[in-house]
Amino acid sequence: MPVRSALDLARELVATPSPSGREEAAAEVLIDAMRALGFDSAYRDEAGNAVGVIARGEGPTLLLTGHLDTVDPGDPSEWPHPPLAGEVADGRLWGRGTVDMKSALACMAVGAAAAAAAGVRGTLIVAGAVLEEVSGLGSMHLASTLDYDAVVLGEPSDLRLKLGHKGRVEVLATFTGRIAHAARPELGVNALEAAARFVTALGRLELPVSDVLGPATATPTRLRTAPGGTTNVVPGAAEVVVDVRTLPGQGVEDVLALLRGLVPDGEAELSVPSSPVALPGGGTAQRPHASPAYLVDPGHEAVGKARAALGRALRAAGRELEEGVWWFCTDAPHLAAGGRPVVGFGPGEEELAHTTRESVRVDDLEVAAQAYRELALAFLGGSP
């Protein structure tokens, strides 16, 4: 069926389940829509990403992208509207993926087609990436196989321009003691006490601060002791998980070195856990629980073009452009490989992502589609 609007496509995408690693059906929905919208080609690449291309002669290449996969909707009874129905109510489109981030992909496809009709010079690519929620492997594949000059990432921003975000490193600190009866604690070595000293020291840790992203943080989020089945034993082991939010330039080894300075030699082992991720072609890969930070220079030419284009689109809708940074991690660092600038813009309130209240204002879909059109024209030399 021909696509009539961004809302139509967003509803169809929301109604097509696409948990991480099983995005095939949603990818086909997006590909069929791009073909119906007049893209020159639309296909699934080797990683399973949905890719659509509009080529209009010599010129730069702009990539409009977001991810197809979603987190699990959970118990449908906890939603005010069915999470996989694509239902419109109270002026909003409801369901898993409306905010994070199928609505943006729908608006990108429609906006790209409108830009092509208005006249662009160069190549416009729309890509629905896979595996963002678990690894970023889909966007890594896009970055390594597509030749583009700039990226617009459609993660939810409530129609604000986004310039980047902090990174994240999950650190597991393992403390080893010696078990004893709690009535004779002097016979053992209490691993919990060592863990407590470490957690206290975290609060005194001096961390760098960015004028744009704010401070790096190190937050203890979980404590577990062993043995865990009784309360009258001096624990012989303790584990503390620390969620470290990083700034550009802070890598995994930098974080580990910083935290190792808080514990005496030999008292704890610090590591970054990893988990197996299913690959689209079969098999698995281990991915560490770490994502880098990203920040585009606010004075970069690409940011200036985005400000001008988004300002036009929002003023036409009676709104003013705001800008800032995301508080969550995205695929921007992967897409920026090779120094390519990434700017962010998408419909949907960030705080509704991954919740049972996930929904997007229907009016914002029309604004976003127009905004992506303006962005394409600005980057590809078309007339605004």
**Share of residues in the chain with pLDDT > 70 (%):** 98
Active site residue 155: no
Q: Which of 18-22, 100-104, 264-268 has the highest mean pLDDT?
A: 100-104
Question: Is the confidence at residue 285, as pLDDT, over 50?
Answer: yes
What is the Cα–Cα distance from 6 to 110, expressed in whole angstroms? 6
The pLDDT value recorded for residue 201 is 96
Arithmetic mean of pLDDT, 75-88:
97
Tokens 């010599």: give the residue: 58
Task: Determine how many CB atoms are found less than 10 A away from the CB of residue 145.
Answer: 12
Q: Which of 131, 163, 162, 146 is nearest to 63 (CA)?
A: 146
CATH 3.40.1030.10 fits 167-286, yes or no: no
Cβ atoms of 13 and 99 within 8 Å: the answer is no
Catalytic residue among 45, 132, 158, 170: 132
CATH of domain 6-165+293-379: 3.40.630.10
CA atoms in the 13 A half-sphere facing the CB of 190: 16
Residue 272 carries which side chain, given as an amino acid letter? V
Active site residue 132: yes
pLDDT in tens, 135-192: 899 999 999 999 999 999 999 999 999 999 999 999 999 999 999 999 999 999 999 9
Arithmetic mean of pLDDT, 210-226:
97
pLDDT in tens, 340-361: 999 999 999 999 999 999 999 9
Catalytic residue among 23, 45, 69, 364: 69
Question: Is the confidence at residue 280, as pLDDT, over 70?
Answer: no
Question: Is 66 strand, coil or helix?
Answer: strand
The pLDDT value recorded for residue 384 is 42
The pLDDT value recorded for residue 1 is 45
pLDDT in tens, 28-51: 999 999 999 999 999 999 999 999
Instruction: Tell me the chain's radius of gyration from C-alpha atoms.
Output: 23
- Domain assignments of the chain as residue spans, ordered by start: 6-165+293-379, 167-286
Q: Which of 289, 296, 304, 306 is nearest to 372 (CA)?
A: 306
Burial 261-281 (b: 16+ CB within 10 A, else e): ebbeeebbebebeeeebbbbe
Strand order in the sheet with 323-324: 41-44, 50-56, 122-129, 61-67, 150-153, 342-344, 161-162, 323-324
